[in-house]
Amino acid sequence: MNDVINPSVESPETYLQYGDRYQPSGNTDLALKNYQRALAINPDFAPAHERIGSIYQLQGNVMESIASFSKAIQINPQSLAAQLGLGNAYQQMGWAELAITHFQKALELAPDRFLAEYHCKLGDSLKDRGKIAEAIASYERAISTNPDYLDGYRAIAQIYMRQNDIEAVKVIYERANTHNSELLQAKDYNALGVSWLQKINTIAAEDKSGIDDLVDSAIACFERAIQIDPTYADAHCNLGSAFIRKDRIKDAILAYKEAIDIEPNFAQPYFNLGILLNNIGKFEEAIACFQSSIDLVPNWVEAKQYLGTLLARKA
């Protein structure tokens, strides 16, 4: 397609249409050239500033995109595309308060066109500013807008995980699972399992039943993650750590070895297996494990300490 337009039909709208034809095909240079031609005819043509801002944003030229979106809004404050684009750009720069302003303006302008993705983006900026209740409300609107939008559930779960409110995480995951049993992925169950194990630190050491319950919950999560994705090495590694807390030593060894078989360059299961083997007196195998973990992560101080102790004992 020839990008030269008959002078008799030149207009900002015509060049905008030509740019819009090039952009979906990935020919951003020609798209940009046509949008700039539109502005050469009419410097106050807001849609061209919007499109140029979007191209700059895709190219990683964030400050240029901010300038273009700001110009579009200066000309037309009702521009939804420019408000959203500026919100994205400010969020990318880490300027949460400015991002919030423009996302909220976009929501005010067109609530029916404010997608779940943007509710989550607004929630992220609110969270960054410490406005946790407002962030959760925004994530809830994302889920309400699109009940299959997994990132909305995850965002709420992450807040509760930071607050060590694992029961609340469980509830939000159950909501997702009730809506769509295939929505949650292996990494979601793995994250929940890790949270159950971390919660053990808040339980009194003498509360054996409480600790056992948490470990059982963690094991169930890791096993569910592995059921969804049998090649998820991190879940196998975490399952091994949970088995140790139940004194299921053989199962723990198998879980660590499974993680290593799946991902030979994953250092953590070598290290964990090394500690376990050391504890049960299999020192030569432990040495090999610690050495493997150091080969993969040369600056791992703790692994070097364990290895040094074993080698000194051997000598």
Contact indicator for 293, 271 with CB cutoff of 8 Å: yes
Dihedral sign for Cα atoms in the order 190, 242, 268, 160? positive
Please give the Cα distance from 116 to 268 (Å, whole number).
Answer: 36
242 shares a domain with 193: yes
Task: For residue 297, give the DSSP letter.
Answer: S
Contact indicator for 236, 226 with CB cutoff of 8 Å: yes
* Residue 78 pLDDT: 94
Residue 2 inside a domain? The answer is: yes
Q: Which residues contact residue 97 at a Cβ distance below 8 angstroms, ignoring those fewer than 6 apart?
A: 125, 129
- As separate numbers, helices (DSSP H) first and strands (DSSP E) second, the chain gives 17, 0
* Residues 192, 198, 199: CA angle, nearest 5 degrees: 90
pLDDT digits (tens, 9 = 90+) for 5-45: 444 458 999 999 999 998 888 889 999 999 999 999 999 99
Instruction: Calculate what percentage of the chain has a pLDDT beyond 90.
Output: 89
283 shares a domain with 233: no
pLDDT digits (tens, 9 = 90+) for 231-267: 999 999 999 999 999 999 999 999 999 999 999 999 9
Q: Answer yes or no: pTM beyond 0.85.
A: no
* Residue 205 pLDDT: 67
Indicate if the pLDDT at residue 3 is higher than 60: no
Q: Count the domains in the chain.
A: 4
Please give the Cα distance from 303 to 238 (Å, whole number).
Answer: 18
Please give the Cα distance from 122 to 281 (Å, whole number).
Answer: 54
Average pLDDT over residues 101-118: 96
Residue 148 inside a domain? The answer is: yes
Residue 104 inside a domain? The answer is: no
pLDDT digits (tens, 9 = 90+) for 136-172: 999 999 999 999 999 999 999 999 999 989 999 999 9
Please give the Cα distance from 55 to 32 (Å, whole number).
Answer: 7
150, 249, 304, 308 from 288: Cα distances, Å: 41, 19, 12, 12
* Residue 1 pLDDT: 43
* Residue 206 pLDDT: 66
91 shares a domain with 21: yes
* Residue 204 pLDDT: 67
Q: Which of 73-77, 179-183, 209-213, 308-312 has the lowest mean pLDDT?
A: 209-213
Indicate if the pLDDT at residue 282 is higher than 70: yes
What is the span of the domain harbouring residue 11? 1-99
172 shares a domain with 215: no
CATH number for the domain harbouring residue 153: 1.25.40.10
Please give the Cα distance from 139 to 155 (Å, whole number).
Answer: 7
Residue 110 inside a domain? The answer is: no
Tell me the average pLDDT of the chain: 93
Element (H, E) at 197: helix 186-199
Contact indicator for 119, 145 with CB cutoff of 8 Å: yes
* Residue 314 pLDDT: 81
Query: Which of 39, 73, 99 is the last residue in one of the domains?
Result: 99
205 shares a domain with 192: yes
207 shares a domain with 244: yes
Which value, to the nearest 10 degrees, does the dihedral of the CA atoms of residues 112, 114, 115, 120 take? -140
91 shares a domain with 1: yes
94 shares a domain with 28: yes
Average pLDDT over residues 187-194: 96
Residue 164 inside a domain? The answer is: yes
